[in-house]
């Protein structure tokens, strides 16, 4: 299905033309060792090596997660122990403390869609229990918290820049205390993969030049008949399955570096302009959606100074908001399709609530005011 409002930013011609103003790719945490990987999940896998974790060690992982966080840990040979996060997305220290034992070696905490974890408290907890702290910044571009750059407090941190830019791949590992980066036997990407990436980028560039349809002010009658049609289509083609953008973990890709095509595009991007746009859009959505009853922005703190992948809202009384928005042409998503099969969900009611009720809206740098209004109007319409 073609979405009227896409989840991803547009690929502009400026990003594809070689220019003199290219900047060396900067790491998100100045002064720390950074390595560039194809996916952030690969960065996590190699980060476990940088910390010196051994097969059989236990790693504490939040019950509210994407399975690509769990898979690399299992593949490394560690045991995953799930802990609770509350409905505001903040780690539950009591549950963590209950689950630490002599085999526990690390805790992962995720800054969900810009909801920041209490970094100094986690760091102190980890120091007291002699655990490594892995800071998952995959949903953040950059930002600060408690006067530290995000990604600096964890012993290691990971970033997934491919979520923020029109690139095919791109993850990062930041090692803050490890004395050296992990030794990776980097694989070549191979001609076919290079071709696939270039083809994908070119296709994206062409389709971004001619967006599906301009968002029109919601004409209720007309839209409803369109939506009915698409529901019929939906039943046969299952196109609205509202999964998060998700690619399965593949151990054969663990040693892939970030592709030169992603690096090329990233070197041409004005990071501060992107951050500013995303923050502006989040603020705008926050204000407008904060006035509606039936939904609430997941956190209001986050909109100050942090640049998040998507704008999270909670629909307390319904579980289909993201599906309804997709039917209206907005590429919203939830995390209901990315739960790792080993999670005993019935033991984690707060995580279950978030999987069912948290909806992620586009907030990317290419959105126009018209598109933002269309999102807001559509949410109001569904409610
Ligand atoms: C919290 C979190 N960490 C890590 C990842 C892995 O990122 P990547 O898809 O770049 O491997 C994801 C993927 O969505 C994620 O949501």
Query: Atom 16 in ligand 1: which residue has the minimum CA distance?
Result: 66
Pocket lined around ligand 1, Cβ cut-off 6 Å: 39-41, 66, 68-69, 110, 136, 138-139, 160, 162, 171
**CA 110 to ligand 1: nearest atom:** 1
172 and 36 Cβ atoms separated by less than 8 Å = yes
Mean pLDDT computed over 72-76: 98
Position 145 pLDDT exceeds 90:
no
Mean pLDDT computed over 223-249: 52
DSSP lists the bridge partners of residue 5 as: 330
pLDDT greater at residue 330 or residue 18: 330
**CA 41 to ligand 1: nearest atom:** 11
Domains, in order of start, for the chain: 14-175 (3.40.640.10), 208-245+270-382 (3.90.1150.10)
Position 245 pLDDT exceeds 60:
no
Residues 229-238 pLDDT 10s: 444 444 433 4
Mean pLDDT computed over 107-113: 96
308 and 113 Cβ atoms separated by less than 8 Å = yes
Q: How far is CA 170 from the centre of its chain?
A: 12
**CA 169 to ligand 1: nearest atom:** 10
Query: Atom 1 in ligand 1: which residue has the minimum CA distance?
Result: 138
Mean pLDDT computed over 289-317: 85
CA of 158 to the centre of ligand 1 (A): 9
Position 218 pLDDT exceeds 70:
no
CA of 71 to the centre of ligand 1 (A): 11
- Among 7, 36, 38, 40, which is best to mutate for testing ligand 1, by the most ligand atoms less than 8 A from CB? 40
**CA 249 to ligand 1: nearest atom:** 11
pLDDT greater at residue 168 or residue 247: 168
Residues 32-44 pLDDT 10s: 999 999 999 999 9
Q: Distance between the two ends of the chain, CA-based, in angstroms?
A: 23
Q: What is the pLDDT of residue 304?
A: 60
**CA 112 to ligand 1: nearest atom:** 1
CA of 21 to the centre of ligand 1 (A): 30
Position 299 pLDDT exceeds 80:
no
Confidence of residue 211 (pLDDT cuts 50, 70, 90): low
CA of 66 to the centre of ligand 1 (A): 7
CA of 379 to the centre of ligand 1 (A): 26
- Among 37, 43, 66, which is best to mutate for testing ligand 1, by the most ligand atoms less than 8 A from CB? 66
CA of 323 to the centre of ligand 1 (A): 22
**CA 163 to ligand 1: nearest atom:** 10
Least confident of 112-121, 294-303, 305-314, 325-334: 294-303
Query: 341-361 in b/e burial notation, b at 16+ Cβ within 10 A?
Result: eebeeeebebbbbbbebbbbb
**CA 170 to ligand 1: nearest atom:** 10
CA of 70 to the centre of ligand 1 (A): 10
Least confident of 40-49, 138-147, 329-338: 138-147
Angle of the 67-76 helix axis to the 40-50 helix axis, nearest 10: 40
What is the per-residue DSSP string for 266-303? Answer: HTT--HHHHHHHHHHHHHHHHHHHHTSSS-EES-SGGG
DSSP lists the bridge partners of residue 85 as: 91
pTM across the whole model: 0.92
Q: In this structure, how many other beta carbons lie within 10 angstroms of the beta carbon of residue 286? A: 19
Confidence of residue 216 (pLDDT cuts 50, 70, 90): low
CA of 162 to the centre of ligand 1 (A): 10
121 and 144 Cβ atoms separated by less than 8 Å = no
Mean pLDDT computed over 8-21: 82
């Amino acid at each position: 299905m073609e979405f009227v409002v896409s989840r991803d930013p547009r690929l502009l011609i400026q990003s594809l033309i070689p220019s003199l103003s290219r900047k060396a790719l900067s790491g998100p945490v100045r002064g720390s060792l950074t390595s560039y990987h194809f996916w952030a999940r690969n960065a996590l896998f190699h980060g476990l090596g940088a910390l010196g974790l051994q097969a059989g060690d236990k790693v504490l992982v939040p019950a509210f997660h994407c399975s690509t966080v769990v898979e690399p840990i299992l593949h490394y040979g560690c045991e995953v122990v799930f802990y609770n996060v509350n409905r505001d997305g903040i780690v539950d220290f009591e549950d963590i403390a209950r689950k630490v034992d002599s085999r526990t070696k690390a805790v992962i905490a995720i800054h969900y869609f810009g909801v920041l974890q209490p970094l100094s408290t986690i760091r102190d907890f980890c120091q007291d229990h002699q655990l490594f702290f892995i800071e998952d910044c995959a949903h953040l571009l950059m930002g600060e918290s408690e006067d530290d750059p995000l990604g600096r407090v964890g012993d290691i941190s990971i970033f997934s820049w491919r979520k923020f830019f029109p690139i095919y791949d791109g993850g990062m590992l930041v090692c803050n205390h490890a004395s050296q980066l992990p030794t990776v036997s980097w694989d070549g990407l191979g001609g076919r993969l290079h071709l696939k990436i270039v083809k994908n980028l070119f296709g994206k560039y062409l389709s971004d030049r001619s967006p599906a349809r301009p968002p029109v002010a919601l004409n209720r009658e007309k839209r409803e008949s369109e939506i009915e049609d698409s529901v019929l289509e939906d039943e046969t083609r299952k196109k609205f399955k509202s999964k998060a953008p998700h690619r399965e973990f593949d151990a054969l890709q663990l040693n892939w570096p970030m592709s030169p095509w992603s690096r090329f595009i990233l070197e041409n991007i004005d990071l501060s302009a992107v951050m500013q746009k995303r923050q502006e859009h989040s603020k705008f959505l926050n204000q407008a959606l904060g006035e509606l009853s039936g939904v609430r922005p997941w956190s209001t703190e986050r909109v100050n100074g942090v640049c998040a992948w998507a704008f999270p809202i909670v629909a307390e009384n319904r579980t289909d908001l993201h599906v309804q928005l997709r039917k209206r042409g907005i590429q919203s998503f939830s995390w209901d399709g990315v739960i790792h099969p080993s999670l005993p969900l019935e033991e984690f009611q707060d995580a279950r609530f978030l999987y069912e009720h948290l909806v992620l809206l586009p907030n990317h740098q290419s959105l126009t005011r018209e598109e933002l209004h269309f999102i807001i109007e559509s949410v109001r319409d569904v409610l």
